[in-house]
């Protein structure tokens, strides 16, 4: 049986590779990505969530090369930014499925 860590991220090598790449970011980008991770892990439900993190890492790597300010990447509200990213991966997040279930149930009741 897989342990909880492996259920959430999959292979440890993949996660360690991600962490190593993240360490190469400039400090402010690394700190911002870490803060986003901390928020987003609250909603992860499966090992494919690593895809979300890897895609965010790629965005931050490219943005650091271009020296974009963090606000240009995330806008004025980091929660809105994180939620917009997570909305692209509904199958990996339990709360999006819960939101959809609620919408469908209320829609059914309104008929």
By the 10 Å C-beta count (0-12 exposed, 13-18 middle, 19+ buried), 61 is classed as middle
CA gap 73, 78 in Å, rounded: 9
> Which residues lie closer than 8 Å to 93 by C-beta, 6 or more apart?
43, 44, 45, 49, 86
Report residue 11's pLDDT band, with 50, 70 and 90 as the boundaries.
confident
Task: Look at residue 92 and tell me whether its pLDDT is greater than 90.
Answer: no
pLDDT in tens, 47-60: 678 888 999 999 99
């Amino acid at each position: 049986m897989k342990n909880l860590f492996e259920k959430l991220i999959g292979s440890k090598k993949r996660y360690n590779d991600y962490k190593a790449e993240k360490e190469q970011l400039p400090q402010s980008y690394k700190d911002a990505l870490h803060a986003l991770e901390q928020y987003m892990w609250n909603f992860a439900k499966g090992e494919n969530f690593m895809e979300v993190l890897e895609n965010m890492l790629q965005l931050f790597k490219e943005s650091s090369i271009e020296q974009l300010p963090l606000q240009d990447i995330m806008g004025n509200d980091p929660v809105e930014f994180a939620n917009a990213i997570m909305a692209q991966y509904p199958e990996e997040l339990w709360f999006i499925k819960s939101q959809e279930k609620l919408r469908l149930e209320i829609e059914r009741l309104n008929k």
